[in-house]
Amino acid sequence: MAEEEKLPSPLIEKAKLFAHDHIVTQAETWELDRAMAVTTLRKAVAAGFGGLLVAKKFNGSGASFTDTARVLETIAAGDLGFAFSLVVHNNLAASLSKDEAQRARYLDKMLSGEEIGAFCLTEPEVGTDAAAIKTRARRNGNGWILNGAKAWVTNAVAADIFCVYAQTDDAGGAAGIASFLVPRGTPGLTIEPAYMLLGAHAMGTSGIVLKDVHVSDDVLFLPPGRGFKGAMAGIDLARVLLSAMCCGILGRALDEALGYAAGREAFGQSILAFQGLQWQLAEVATDLEAARLLTYRAAALLDEGSSGTIAAAHAKKFSTRAAMGGVAACMQAMGAEGLRTKRPLSRHLAAAKVAEYLDGTTDVQNIVIARSLVRGQSR
């Protein structure tokens, strides 16, 4: 039985309805127009999908990591880029909810959709080695001055709050990294035009530049010593959620291929009757089941309070690979019909490729996994 069929949470049914009414009907237009889905994103947040990991006592959903992954799998079946926008917003909202001062200042607006959040860690010249970021924050009286640039910022096109990671120590290193909450419109903050990508334009990705951006002490979010650890914890969760989203697009592609093949005739019979096609789709189904097992195992570890770093790396590596190969196989099963934009497969295939780069490439996951293997041998 597929994961979605096991779910007791009414949140899943709500997600299915929202995806049907607001995402599936617009996803093709977002892609063709290369436009961020900002209006629908605010609607999704206001509908309760922006505070999935925020405790109920703070007006969030109080969902587990597992149920959050299932919600995002459901939404990604409509559009992965849109779902990833929600991931970024949810992660920031959850982090803010744990800090009393920042919670009072930002959380209500983030849960209503009035303000959208963005996570700013990656830089134009610094990718995998996040501890080597060059954006600097230096003390200035009762505040800080930020200088630098960030790249690949999801939601940047319309974000209202930018969580910016910067180095506070001239000696460098992870221990000196802190994060700051920089509002849109702050003097010296420039948002660059949206990137033109292969796909997933709904997530509104671009870069930002900070030139002598002066911020007060009260926007210091994670101080030196906590900033880098906080960023890495968020990335582990994002990898699990991204894995679930890959399951969503792969499941949608398989359903599309099966439905088409059942109704398409060739040589006097449904093409689904041909064993070659059946086996092709059976391989996709096996990869989907394996991807879901890896994904929800990692989510369960996070729910238990255990480290999910290695499990998240396995899940992200396998799920993105399965989505790339599986969506392509489903397109092949549909022949040239799979190329038409009225079908979601070409959009999902592009999104699967984008997913291979989000929150660490397969090579990065291999580094994480290999290091754990080496540590195991050295004991």
> DSSP assignment of 258-318, as one string?
HHHHHH-EETTEEGGGSHHHHHHHHHHHHHHHHHHHHHHHHHHHHHHT---HHHHHHHHHH
pLDDT 10s digits, 187-212: 999 999 999 999 999 999 999 999 99
Residue of 126, 225, 115 whose CA lies nearest to 169: 225
Confidence at 1, pLDDT banded by 50, 70, 90: very low
Buried b or exposed e, range 24-40, using 16+ CB within 10 angstroms: eebbbebbeeebbbbeb
List Cα–Cα distances, 223 to 164, 165, 296, in angstroms.
Answer: 12, 10, 32
C-alpha gyration radius of the chain: 21
Give pLDDT, residue 5: 43
Distance CA 172, CA 272 (A): 59
CA atoms within 13 A on the CB side of 178: 21
What is the C-alpha to C-alpha distance for residues 126 and 293, in angstroms, rounded to an integer?
Answer: 33
Domains of the chain from N-terminus onward? 3-115 (1.10.540.10), 119-225 (2.40.110.10), 228-378 (1.20.140.10)
In this predicted structure, what is the pLDDT of residue 379?
Answer: 66
Place of tokens 């293997």: 373
Name the token pair of 87. 């991931």
CB atoms within 10 A of CB 104: 10
> How high is the pLDDT of residue 128?
66
Tokens of 235: 């990335």
Residues contacting residue 276 through CB under 8 Å, at least 6 positions apart: none
Closest CA to 349 of 246, 228, 226, 212: 246
Query: How far is Cα 266 from Cα 167, in angstroms, rounded to an integer?
Result: 63
What's the CA gap between 65 and 231, in Å, rounded? Answer: 17
Task: Enumerate the H helices of the chain as residue ranges.
Answer: 10-18, 27-33, 38-44, 65-76, 80-97, 100-102, 108-112, 227-263, 275-304, 309-333, 345-355, 362-378
Side chain identity at residue 319, one-letter code = S
Query: What is the per-residue pLDDT across 309-339, written as a single tens digit (0 to 9) for each?
Result: 999 999 999 999 999 999 999 999 998 998 8
Per-residue pLDDT, 270: 79
pLDDT digits (tens, 9 = 90+) for 89-129: 999 999 999 988 899 999 999 999 999 999 999 999 876 67
Residue reference for tokens 């509908």: 47
Is the pLDDT confidence value at 163 over 60? yes
Single pTM value for the model: 0.92
> Which pLDDT tens digit goes with each residue over 255-273?
999 998 888 877 878 778 7
d(CA 10, CA 65): 15
CA distance 206 to 36: 11
H/E element holding 127? none
